[in-house]
Amino acid sequence: MDPRRFRALALGLVFAVVLSAPIHAWAQEPARSAPNIVTVVETMRTYTQGLGVECIYCHVDGQNGRLNYRSDDNPRKQVARKMIAMTADINTMIGLGRSEHSTTRVTCLTCHRGVPDPRPLNDIIREKMEREGGQAAADHYRALRQRFFGGPAYDFREELLLTTVQTFVDGRPDEAIELLKMNLEFYPQSSRGYSALAYAYTRRRDDPSAMTALEKALDLDPDNSIARGQLEQLKKYQRRR
């Protein structure tokens, strides 16, 4: 027997034993072509890989330390059901009028790219900032970075964060400062990062902090002419006062 097939079968047996009950929905509908437990678990694997999660993410704890796969008490399972239907619809639409092997098949991974929240990082951070403030947004960013850095899903480069912060720094300098300070934890040598922080301080009318940040920006990169210009301006302004 092909070893891969053997492994799949063996896994299926293990799961069949682990499960406290037969796959009840399918077992009760013999008229439907009943997918066996191997197929079910393989399908479930595409979910865990697509979203970068464990089985418990959608299922709930059952008895004797096992998961209760049948229960619908986890709201994420309900969302997943809609997602499964949506993904099937998308594939139907893509496939219309074309032969099966000439079409791309969309899977959970296509959108989710190994993470549960498929939105681009800038949307996630902006929304968190608007709902819960700069501190919460910074904490969330740190947590995502800790977990997903190096993977393909989120763009953790400094550019993305700086351009995101730029969109709200004038209206919400305090939130911007939280995020820009966090950025410097990850890019402590970034002259641009310090320039951006300085700008946010000026929005809060905190010129002394802005000047300190600009000096740091110039230490790191003496060619940062924007920082130099801003520092000159602030100094002139201070002398006039």
Answer yes or no whether residue 200 interacts with ligand HEC by CB under 6 A: no
Phi and psi at residue 111, in whole multiples of 5°?
Answer: -90, -45
Answer yes or no whether residue 83 interacts with ligand HEC by CB under 6 A: yes
Q: CA-CA distance, 55 to 166, in Å (whole number)?
A: 39
Cα-based angle 164, 192, 170 (whole degrees, multiple of 5): 45
Amino acid at 66: R
Q: CA-CA distance, 59 to 48, in Å (whole number)?
A: 12
Amino acid at 211: M
Indicate the residue among 1 and 96 with the shorter CB distance to ligand HEC. Answer: 96
Answer yes or no whether residue 62 interacts with ligand HEC by CB under 6 A: no
Q: Which two tokens stand for residue 52?
A: 């970068």
Stretches 110-118, 131-139, 143-151, 182-190: which one binds ligand HEC (CB under 6 A)? 110-118
Judged by CB under 6 A, the residue of 58, 115, 129, 210 near ligand HEC is 58
Residues 3-32 close enough to bind ligand HEC by CB under 6 A: 19, 23-25
Answer yes or no whether residue 148 interacts with ligand HEC by CB under 6 A: no
Q: Which SS3 state, helix, strand or coil, does residue 28 take?
A: coil
Indicate the residue among 19 and 198 with the shorter CB distance to ligand HEC. Answer: 19
Residues 36-55 close enough to bind ligand HEC by CB under 6 A: 40-41, 44-45, 47-48, 50-51, 53, 55
